[in-house]
Amino acid sequence: MQLLEERIKKDGQVLGEDVLKVDNFLNHQVDPDLMAAMGEEFYRLFKDANITKILTVESSGIAPAVLAGLSFHVPVVFARKHKSLTLQDNMYSATVYSYTKKVNNHISISKKFIDENDRVLVIDDFLANGQAVEGLLEIIEQANAQLEGVGIVIEKTFQKGRELLDARGIHVESLARIAAFENGEVVFVEDK
């Protein structure tokens, strides 16, 4: 998606060898026009899959997932990372390791929001090592729901996440695919 790639080049900040900071348009401050364009693109890519629910993990996946939900006209459910007094029982859950925060997060979704009748699209902000998506897949399996695909805003192809999903035969679409970070700059797969 050219619009997203241009925004990454303009406002993304490479930290070290494997971290991209996109906090001024995706995961701290959110650009709603860009999110709307991404939601429409996810719809274009998965419109024939008869999606009934979109799943993501709080918090950075929520904005692109909600705008995709608007394009599909389906509910968006996000896995919570922290226990809430209002969410105690009847939960599907999984453990997800956060590479950037170096912690395990226990994620959960109420059983009343996903079931065996759902055809699910997972949307997430980044695909790097694949842990967040793997956690959501575990929850989808617990619910006996049908996974229809995974939509990723930014994929780091030099990390193992895509390989893990490809090995499981999962349909994955990424809006921006990064091949490498070189000299503090983002190199996209198409540019290689």
* CB-side neighbour CA atoms (13 Å) of 191: 15
Starting from the edge strand earliest in sequence, which strands make up the sheet with 185-188, in order? 76-79, 53-57, 119-127, 146-156, 172-182, 185-188
* CB-side neighbour CA atoms (13 Å) of 24: 7
From first to last of its 192 residues, what are the pLDDT tens digits of the chain?
A: 999 999 999 999 999 888 999 999 998 899 999 999 999 999 999 999 999 999 999 888 999 999 999 999 999 999 998 665 555 678 999 988 876 677 888 899 999 999 999 999 999 999 999 999 999 999 999 999 999 999 999 999 999 999 999 999 999 999 999 999 999 999 999 876
Determine how β-strand 119-127 pairs with β-strand 53-57: parallel
> Beta strands of 28-139 (E only): which ranges?
53-57, 76-79, 91-98, 103-110, 119-127
Is 94 annotated in a binding site? The answer is: no
Is 128 annotated in a binding site? The answer is: yes
| Total-model pTM | 0.93
Do 145 and 160 contact (CB within 8 A), yes or no? no
Is 81 annotated in a binding site? The answer is: no
Is 68 annotated in a binding site? The answer is: no
Cis peptide before 59 (omega within 30 of 0): yes
What is the separation of C-alpha 38 from the centre of its chain, rounded to a whole number of angstroms? 12
Do 95 and 79 contact (CB within 8 A), yes or no? no
Q: Fold for domain 2-119+144-153+170-186? A: Rossmann fold (3.40.50)
Distance CA 1, CA 38 (A): 8
Is 20 annotated in a binding site? The answer is: yes
Is 105 annotated in a binding site? The answer is: no
pLDDT of residue 88: 61
> Beta strands of 130-191 (E only): which ranges?
146-156, 172-182, 185-188
